[in-house]
Amino acid sequence: MGSKVIGMLTRDELSRRVRAGQIETVLLVFTDHYGRFMGKRLDAEFFLDDAAKRGTHACDYLLTVDMEMEPVPGYRFSNWEKGYGDFHLVPDFATLRVASWLEKTALVLCDVKDEQTHRPVAQAPRSMLRRQIERAAATGYRAMTGSELEYYIFKNAYRDAASKDYHGLEPAGWYLEDYHALQGAREEGFNGAARRHLRQSGIPVESSKGEWGLGQHELNVRYADILTMADRHVVFKQCLKEIADQMGISVTFMAKFAANQAGSSCHIHMSLWRNSQNAFAGAKRLGPVACSDTFRWFLGGWIAHAPEMMVFYAPTVNSYKRYQAGSWAPTRLAWSYDNRTAGFRVVGAGPSLRIECRIPGADCNPYLAFAAALASGLEGIEHRIEPPPIFEGDVYAAQHLPRVPRTLRDAADLFEQSAMAKRALGENVVEHYLHFYRTEQDAYDKAVTDWERQRYFERI
């Protein structure tokens, strides 16, 4: 993990490439609450002369808009009364990389800071994760994380898909292709390009494989420290979407694209390290697992606080359609060893011991999901929260186990009531995101869906 990663740039390397005419544009970005890149394309020479030292600015309404980029009233952070001013985008040069899928372009992720105080904007997703990283560091821990993303590929271009209202799209595959090499070869034109461009853009790749849906795939990148992994995750999604756009096809990271197809997940693997060693490893026994108290309490906290932090793992109305029995998505809160029916699957041993949380969907914002997971686990360590007994067998059939929240509305209510969320994230942050998720739910509540027309148009 210590060797230089292909595609990452220093300021000096960027300067050399700009002088050689190899880089002409630098893309400065951060993510909004949905996890979408927002930012600016800067002339590379201007970036080196000015923005590399001073950063740039963007309108603070970007942390209050809905999916359609409409400013949403009711936020205390930014609103019409305050005039929608600017915040400061500060490049994090540890993230400077070639964006190999774009012509002569480099990309750098930014931290969002207050224009006047120059302090991190607490509501910005990357700021929220940084706060939990600092909390872990204060007790000597460093979180190592990997996220596994699934997605569907369609032969339709994005514009074509939109013109069809996303009906009748042609999936890249026509039968279930989980681990299937032949069917996977048919989609290698896209997936091979994705692996290649990710690797050339500072994101070391492990593998890709077919998944349990028509045209569904998973592409895994190497684990890293938690902030680096979140950065890789958001670049990953942007890269795949833009490659698809260039090829005249489309991909979706919706948690549940179709009722009769498997959902797309974002399994999060996490461990804590101290003094360059896995702090989860140990000689104590928890069922079949040889572990430390750190592992036990982190697992206990993560499970105990999952319901109240669910909004960060399942951030849309659609997210909750994924939690169906027998669907590879968890429906109940339990942990097991190497059991894919459990929401928390413990895997590895010794230095590789880690917890895989299978609850988040591919639609999650990794900064928020990782922050929620780390905050929950650290609460577990601080308060010595014991995990429930290990579950063995089919978790889907275990009706006595607590269930994940059924809707975004339920999850938002639990989030509002969470003393832990207010303590770990800050009351102003909880208020801000509660408004965000309730706005999302309200938009759905007002919508008339295809299901309603098909069910009621004639027969009611």
Q: Of residues 276 and 208, which shows the higher confidence score?
A: 276
Do residue 245 and residue 157 come from a single domain? yes
- Sheet strands (E) in 253-371: 266-274, 277-278, 284-286, 289-291, 335-337, 344-347, 354-357
How much is the pLDDT for 3?
63
Q: How confident is the model at residue 1 (pLDDT cuts 50, 70, 90)?
A: very low
Q: Which of 115-129, 134-148, 173-187, 274-288 has the lowest mean pLDDT?
A: 173-187
Answer yes or no: is 129 within a domain: no
Of the three residues 96, 122, 148, the one that is the final residue of a domain is 122
Would residue 64 count as lying in a domain? yes
Cα-flanking dihedrals φ and ψ of residue 380, to 5°?
Answer: -60, -45
3-class SS of residue 251: strand
Q: Do 116 and 148 have their domain in common?
A: no
CATH of the domain at 60: 3.10.20.70
Examine residue 156 and state whether it is found in any structural domain, yes or no.
Answer: yes
Is residue 36 assigned to a domain?
yes
Say yes or no: 89 and 209 in one domain.
no
Strand runs (DSSP E) across 65-204, as ranges?
86-91, 97-98, 105-114, 142-154
pLDDT tens-digit profile of 242-273? 999 999 999 999 999 999 999 999 999 999 99
- The band of 124, judged by pLDDT with boundaries at 50, 70 and 90, is very high
The verdict on 251 and 387 lying in the same domain is yes
pLDDT, residue 457, reads 84
Residue range 5-32: mean pLDDT, rounded = 97
326 and 265 part of one domain: yes
Q: For residues 18 and 160, state if they share a domain.
A: no
Query: What is the full DSSP assignment across 36-98?
Result: -EEEEEEEHHHIIIIIHHH-EEEEGGGGSB-TTSPBPTT-SSS-TTTT--EEEEEE-GGG-EE
pLDDT in tens, 57-107: 999 999 999 999 999 999 999 999 998 999 999 999 999 999 999 999 999
Q: Assign residue 338 a region (left: φ > 0; alpha: ψ between -120 and 50; beta: otherwise).
A: left
- Of 72, 97, 122, which residue sits at a domain end? 122
Q: What's the whole-number average pLDDT of the chain? A: 95
Q: What is the pLDDT of residues 302-326, one digit of tens each?
A: 999 999 999 999 999 999 999 998 8
Helix (H, G, I), strand (E, B) or coil at 458: coil
How confident is the model at residue 179, as a pLDDT?
Answer: 81
Domain-embedded: residue 5:
no
For residue 283, pLDDT beyond 60: yes
The answer to whether residues 313 and 245 belong to one domain is yes
Distance CA 175, CA 206 (A): 25
**Distance, CA of 417 to CA of 147 (rounded, Å):** 28
Q: What pairs with residue 29 in β-bridges? A: 39, 109
On whether both 373 and 420 belong to a single domain, the answer is yes
The answer as to whether 97 is a domain residue is: yes
Is 224 part of a structural domain of the chain? yes
Given 122, 154, 183, the domain boundary residue is 122
Q: Are residues 347 and 390 in the same domain?
A: yes
Q: Say if 2 falls within a structural domain.
A: no
Query: Are residues 111 and 174 both part of a single domain?
Result: no
Percent of the chain with pLDDT over 90: 87
Residue 353 DSSP code: -
- Name 391's Cβ contacts closer than 8 Å, sequence gap at least 6: 334, 335, 336, 339, 342, 398, 401
Pairing of strands 25-31, 105-114: parallel
pTM: 0.96
Is residue 174's pLDDT more than 90?
no
Number of separate domains in the chain: 2
Q: Provide, rounded to the nearest whole percent, the portion of the chain with pLDDT above 70.
A: 99
Shared-domain flag, residues 97 and 147: no
Q: What type of residue is 398?
A: A
Q: Which residue has the higher pLDDT, 188 or 231?
A: 231
Q: Tell me, yes or no, whether 113 and 206 share the same domain.
A: no
Residues of the domain holding 28:
11-122
Structure token digits, residue 454: 């098909």
Q: In angstroms, rounded to a whole number, what is the distance separating the alpha carbons of residues 338 and 238? A: 31
| CATH assignment of the domain containing 330 | 3.30.590.10
